[in-house]
Amino acid sequence: MKLDQRRILITGAGGGIGRAMVEALNASGARTMGVARRQRSAVAGDPAEPQTWLQGDLTLAPDIDRVARAAIAWGADTVVHAAGVPAFGAFGQQPAEQTASVLQINLWSPMALTQALLPHLHQLPDARVVFVGSALGRIGIPGSAVYGATKAGLHRFAEALRRELAGSPVSVQWLGPRATQTAFNSPESVAFNQATGTASDPPEVVAEALLALLRSGAAERHIGFPERLAVRLNGALGPLIDGGFRKHRDALFATPSEGVTP
Ligand SMILES: NC(=O)c1ccc[n+]([C@@H]2O[C@H](COP(=O)([O-])OP(=O)(O)OC[C@H]3O[C@@H](n4cnc5c(N)ncnc54)[C@H](OP(=O)(O)O)[C@@H]3O)[C@@H](O)[C@H]2O)c1
C-alpha cells in the first residue's frame, strides 16, 4: 500500500501515540484528518498536526454519525482507531461508572464508527480499518482487568470482522502496542511498570509500527519482546502461567499510601 495516496482518518489524533502517528503519516505523504473531543484548528507548520480536525466525543452516537459523515465527504479510505482511555488499578476499587465509560470509548466507539463508515469503505477499491489495541488485550495482568477486557473485546471484534470482510475491499488490521511513554499512563501506572520491569516504548515506535502494518497489509502487528512471546504463551497455556504474574499482583497491592487491598 502506498501511503502517499491515502486519506487517513485518525481518532485520538491529539494524544501521545496519535500525534506521533499523524507526524509519521504526514511525513509519508498521506493526508490526515484527526478527531478531537474539543474544537480545534490545525496549527500551520506543526508536523504532528493533521491537515483537518473534526470535533467529536466518540462516546456519543450523534458525534459518531457526524464524524463519519464528514470523513466520508472528505474521502477517507483508511481509519485508525487510536482514541482510548486507561483504567489502571485494582478492580475492587474501581467505580462502576468508570467501567462503563471505559467500555464505551475503548470498545463501543470504534465498533460504532466502523459500522457508520462501512458502506462508504465498501465502495472503494482498497480500504483499511486499523484498531489500536494493547498487549494487555491479549494477556490479562493484575491491575488491568477492565482495560484489558476492553482491548480483548476489541481484538475479538477485529478478528471476526477481518474474517467476515475477507474478499471485500475492506481489510481489517490490528496494532498491539505495549506500554508507551505518553500521558495515558498515570504516575501509579508508571511506578507499577517500573516495579514489574515492564519496558515501555516512545510513541514514535508505535507510529513506525503503524506505517509498517499499513504497508505490509498484515492482519496484526505486535510491538515488543517479551510481550509477543508472553501473548503466545498465554494463548497456548492460559492458567498454567498464572504464577508468572505474582510480581504484578504484589506491585499492584504494594501501594502503601492508598492501602489498596483486593
Ligand atoms: N500509552 C500506552 O501505554 C498504551 C499502550 C498500549 C495501547 N495504548 C492505546 O493506544 C491508544 C492511544 O493511547 P495514548 O497513549 O496516545 O493515549 P493519550 O495520550 O491519553 O491519548 C488518548 C486520545 O484518545 C482521545 N479520546 C479519549 N476519549 C475520547 C472520547 N470520548 N472521544 C474522542 N476522543 C477521545 C483523546 O482525545 P482528546 O485529545 O481530544 O482528549 C486523546 O487524543 C489508546 O487506544 C490506548 O489504549 C496505549
State whether residue 81 is helix, strand or coil.
strand
Of the listed ranges 41-55, 146-160, 206-220, the one predicted with least confidence = 41-55
Instruction: Find cell 467476515 and name the residue.
Output: 164
This prediction's pTM: 0.95
Residue 31 has pLDDT above 50, yes or no: yes
| Three cell numbers, residue 189 | 501506572
* Cα 84 to averaged position of ligand 1 atoms, centre (Å): 4
Of the listed ranges 7-21, 87-101, 126-140, 245-259, the one predicted with least confidence = 245-259
Residue 168's contacts (CB-CB under 8 Å, 6 or more residues apart) are: 122
Q: Is the CB of 60 under 6 A from ligand 1?
A: no
User: Given 2.60.40.10, 3.40.50.10490, 3.90.1300.10, 3.40.50.720, which CATH number is that of 3-252?
Assistant: 3.40.50.720
Per-position b or e across 77-105, b if 16+ CB within 10 A of its CB: bbbbbbbbbbbbbbeeebeeeebeebbbb
Q: How far apart are CA 170 and CA 10, in angstroms?
A: 16
Residue 259 has pLDDT above 50, yes or no: no
Top mutation candidate among 58, 85, 205 for ligand 1, by most atoms within 8 Å of CB: 85
Neighbours of 146 (CB within 10 A): 19
Higher-confidence residue of 230 and 153: namely 153
What's the pLDDT band for 262 if we cut at 50, 70, 90?
low
Residue 256 has pLDDT above 60, yes or no: no
* Cα 17 to averaged position of ligand 1 atoms, centre (Å): 7
Residue 241 has pLDDT above 90, yes or no: no
User: How confident is the prediction for the chain on average, in pLDDT?
Assistant: 94
pLDDT of amino acid 260:
52
Of all protein residues, whose CA lies closest to atom 1 belonging to ligand 1?
180
* Cα 6 to averaged position of ligand 1 atoms, centre (Å): 23
User: Closest Cα to residue 136, out of 227, 210, 204?
Assistant: 227
- How many CA atoms within 13 Å lie on the side-chain side of 123? 6
Active site residues: 147
Write down the domain spans for the chain. Answer: 3-252
pLDDT, tens digit (0-9, with 9 covering 90-100), for 177-204: 999 999 999 999 999 999 999 999 999 9
* Cα 246 to averaged position of ligand 1 atoms, centre (Å): 28
Residue 3's contacts (CB-CB under 8 Å, 6 or more residues apart) are: 25, 28, 29, 30, 211, 214, 215
Top mutation candidate among 10, 17, 185, 204 for ligand 1, by most atoms within 8 Å of CB: 17
